[in-house]
Amino acid sequence: MLAYDELKGSEGRRVWYRPPRYDAARLFPGRPPRVRLRARSYLLQNISLSGIAAVSKDAGLAPPDVGEVLPLQIEQGGLTIFESAAKVCRSEQTVFGSKVALRLVDGFVDFDRLLNRNAQAQIATRTWSYSQATEKVAAEYRAFCADVLSLLRSHNAILIGNKQAAAGQLHHEFDMEGAYRACESQLLPEWRVLWRTGNDFARAAMAEREIREATKAMTELVLTPEMRLGAIWDRSYAKPMGYPGDFQIMNQVYDWERRGNTVYEMLMHRLGLDVAECIKTRMEVVQERIAETVFTENRERPARIMSLGCGPAREVELFLKGVCNTDGLADFTLIDQEEDALRYASEKTYPQLLRLAGRYSLQCLNMSFTDILRGTSGLNKLPPQDLIYSVGLLDYLTDRRATGLTHRLYDQLATGGLLIIGNMNETSLSNLWPMEFVTDWTLEYRDETQMLRWAEALEGERWTECERTGRVRLLFVKKPG
């Protein structure tokens, strides 16, 4: 036990106590409430005694102005469980939607009362909302969800039975390695058949908003909890950094490791990696183009290479690891709006930059994607680039904004430079159903004609290619010279 004179308070800025801020996904497991600001609907992101933060997936929704005082309601199932006036403290428009932080003006959050009212609202609306939702979901899709769940749980039942037999009857450890390999080889082909069927259902549901939302709600209720036993599904659905596709998800794909405490959890993660494999294969295409750019003959200066939405920039790290300390010259510019991603990329590439003794350099720019789209980021202050690539950002943009960004990046190219733009491909085994319906990860899926249209007013050669899985299409634009 400590004496009173041994008890320590906080130091520095932490001396100023602030009420704890709670993550909404953890505070309200299952289905976080919505936030309504006038006619606008947001998803509650976090909440404290005196304020909240909320996000909207609608990139076209203009956020409220800073300083504006608004009537605020927190709703569960259409029922109001909290209301107060709130002042806008921060407001931001991003490519992923709008974000807003508000301070409560004439109320405070009584968490016991809020949680009780949330539970009451869920119970009161459950029967009605479920019956209303299922009326809009195709009976064939409900049966399909049951088939997916049956397939997954049948494997788990076998695993549990054999583990119990090994421990109870034979008194030895369960062969997790053998069980994993046997299930993986059997489950993956069956999963891909269901995945393709899920895409067919998803496309049929996308045309009408009410049907789409009802179908997604049923998927998230029936299948998502099972899939979230896999690490990559769980992070993709939870979006702990406030937006989809953060650099930690990218790293899970690049590392391609088994994750989980049980064989079944490892298998669920493996199915998620199967869906996300195109993230790795598109990176490999870019890595090859980096090498081609750096080792182009008769270059009188270092190659200039820029990545927009770089994430962990593993393609740069891997390229540098494979370079001898007498080969090539290049200056890399990595741009991302997430500081943690840039920190990761810097730390991983720094040892290689030291090894290469000044032949390669790297700078990281923490820029808002929204400012880049608006042309207010100062991007044009960079020197002309020999290679520019952005392979994971335009999936979130409308065609108008994608065209504008394509043109802006093209203008940054040096004579003879190459621009590479990636986008999720419209194909029978696209990522539509597993990403949109299972993990609530919304992207734009496009074909060759749509992507070529972004560059039709630009000079030079332009073409598209798909990476090895066929699920990502890459647009190439070569500047004349």
Segment 159-186 shows an average pLDDT of 77
In terms of domains, do 82 and 195 share one? no
The percent helix, strand, coil of the chain (3-state, each to 5) is 50, 20, 30
215 in a structural domain: yes
Q: Which of 221, 249, 275 is the last residue of a domain?
A: 275
What is the reported pLDDT for 11? 65
Q: Which long-range contacts (CB under 8 A, 24 or more apart) does 343-350 make?
A: 344/247, 344/251, 344/312, 345/310, 345/311, 345/312, 345/313, 345/316, 345/317, 348/312, 348/313, 348/314, 348/317, 349/313, 349/316, 349/317, 349/320
Same-domain status, 353 and 214: no
Is 3 inside any structural domain? Answer: no
Quick one: 30 and 98 in the same domain?
A: yes
Which has more pLDDT, 58 or 403?
403
Q: Compute the average pLDDT of residues 443-455.
A: 97
Mean pLDDT of the 214-242 span:
92
Section 408-428 average pLDDT: 96
Tell me what the mean pLDDT of segment 235-261 comes to: 92
Would the pLDDT of 4 be above 70? no
Distance CA 85, CA 104 (A): 6
Q: Residue written as tokens 């029922």?
A: 79
Nearest to 271 by CA among 468, 423, 439: 439
35 and 41 Cβ atoms separated by less than 8 Å: yes
Domain presence at residue 2: no
* Cα–Cα distance for residue pair 204/451, rounded to 1 Å: 23
Any residues with CB less than 8 A from the CB of 165 and at least 6 apart, and which? none
Please indicate, yes or no, if residue 415 is contained in any of the structural domains: yes
218 and 259 within one domain: yes
Structure tokens at 366: 């923490």
- Higher pLDDT: 232 or 116? It is 232
Q: Are residues 309 and 228 in the same domain?
A: no
Residue 267 has pLDDT above 60, yes or no: yes
Residue pair 109/48 in contact (Cβ under 8 Å)? The answer is: yes
Q: What does the pLDDT read at residue 30?
A: 67
8 A C-beta contact, residue 83 and residue 73: yes
Highest mean pLDDT range out of 151-165, 326-340, 361-375?
326-340
Do 165 and 181 fall within a single domain? yes
What is the reported pLDDT for 10? 57
For 119, residues 6+ apart whose C-beta sits below 8 A from its C-beta are none
Domain identity same for 336 and 198: no
pLDDT, position 128? 47
Higher-confidence residue of 219 and 15: namely 219
The share of the chain scoring above pLDDT 90, in percent, equals 66
What sign results for the dihedral spanned by CA atoms 350, 354, 360, 361? positive
Q: What is the DSSP string of 273-333?
A: HHHHHHHHHHHHHHHHHHHHHHT-TT-SS-EEEEEES-TT-HHHHHHHHT--TTS--EEEE
The C-alpha atoms of residue 363 and residue 357 are separated, in whole angstroms, by 16
Rounded average pLDDT over 297-315: 93
Question: Would you state the pLDDT for residue 387?
Answer: 98
Pull the structure tokens for residue 418.
């190459």
Mean pLDDT along residues 343-369: 95
Average pLDDT over residues 437-453: 96
pLDDT over 50 (residue 66): yes
- Domain count for the chain: 3
Q: Is the pLDDT of residue 150 over 80?
A: yes
Ramachandran quadrant class, 444 (left: phi over 0; alpha: psi -120 to 50; beta: rest):
beta
| One domain, residues 95 and 155 | no
CATH number (domain holding residue 387) = 3.40.50.150
Quickly state the pLDDT bin for 45 (edges 50, 70, 90).
Answer: confident
Q: Which two tokens stand for residue 308?
A: 């927009």
Residue 1 is predicted with a pLDDT of 52
pLDDT class for 61, splitting at 50, 70, 90? low
Closest CA to 35 of 71, 87, 89: 71
Domain end (from 90, 118, 134): 134
Whether residue 187 is predicted with pLDDT greater than 70 in this model: the reply is yes
Which has the higher per-residue pLDDT, 58 or 28? 28
CA atoms 481, 419, 286, 311: torsion sign: positive
Instruction: Find the CATH number of the domain harbouring 96.
Output: 2.40.10.220
* pLDDT given for residue 374 in this prediction: 82
Is the torsion defined by CA of 229, 231, 236, 238 positive or negative? positive
Residues 145 and 270 in one domain: yes
Record the tokens describing residue 369, joined without a space: 């994607």
Do 341 and 314 lie in one domain? The reply is yes
Residue 155 pLDDT > 60: yes
In this structure, are 108 and 82 located in the same domain?
yes
Domain holding 426, by residue range, is 277-478
Instruction: Tell me phi and psi for residue 455, to 5 degrees.
Output: -110, 10
pLDDT confidence bin for 179, thresholds 50/70/90 = confident
Q: Does residue 7 lie in a domain region?
A: no
How high is the mean pLDDT of the chain?
89
94 located within any domain: yes
Do 199 and 130 reside in the same domain of the chain? no
Does 377 have pLDDT greater than 50? yes
Does residue 174 register a pLDDT over 80?
no
Which of 127-141, 213-227, 312-326 bottoms out in mean pLDDT, i.e. has the lowest? 127-141
Last residue of a domain, one of 87, 102, 134: 134
Per-residue pLDDT at 133 exceeds 70: no
User: Which is more confident, 1 or 413?
Assistant: 413
Report yes or no on 246 lying in a domain.
yes
Is 1 inside any structural domain? no
